[in-house]
Amino acid sequence: MKRNAVYLKDLHFEHGVWLKELIFFSEELGIFQKRLEEVASRNTEMEVLSKVESFQNRFIRQVEVMQELTHDIKEHEEILAHYAAEHPIAIDHVHFHDHTSLRDRVDTFRDLFVEMKREFLRFCAEWI
């Protein structure tokens, strides 16, 4: 479902949800990293260590993407806040261009993160 225009308060709400999700994903990654260290300490086979390294690299990339998304969400939020400060009466009546590309990026990240999480949990179940 594509939206062309939305209200500022709806964009702001969505930004807040995304930022909270990213914080949650970051906390999950911290838990995953500790579990990965546990797997590595219990297994010295090259096959396992190779997968451990692969997950470490994926975790690093997830953090980078989360930082990029957080930056871009906050930047968009600043633009909206600036507009609201300059047009306090209009914000409840004016439609804004929907942030479709940002939403698509967040959705893609979420999908990839969930898939990585599934793979990681299967890996842990196999080697712990």
Q: How many residues does the chain have?
A: 128
Sort residue 98 into left (φ over 0), alpha (ψ -120 to 50) or beta.
beta
pLDDT digits (tens, 9 = 90+) for 57-74: 999 999 999 999 999 999
pLDDT at position 98 is 80
pLDDT digits (tens, 9 = 90+) for 10-24: 999 999 999 999 999
Q: Which residues contact 65 (CB under 8 A, 6 or more apart)?
A: 109
Count of structural domains, the chain: 1
Q: Which residues contact 76 (CB under 8 A, 6 or more apart)?
A: 11, 15, 99, 102
| Containing structural domain, residue 34 | 5-127
Spatial separation of the C-alpha atoms in residues 18 and 72, rounded to whole Å: 11
Tell whether the model's pLDDT for residue 1 goes beyond 60: no
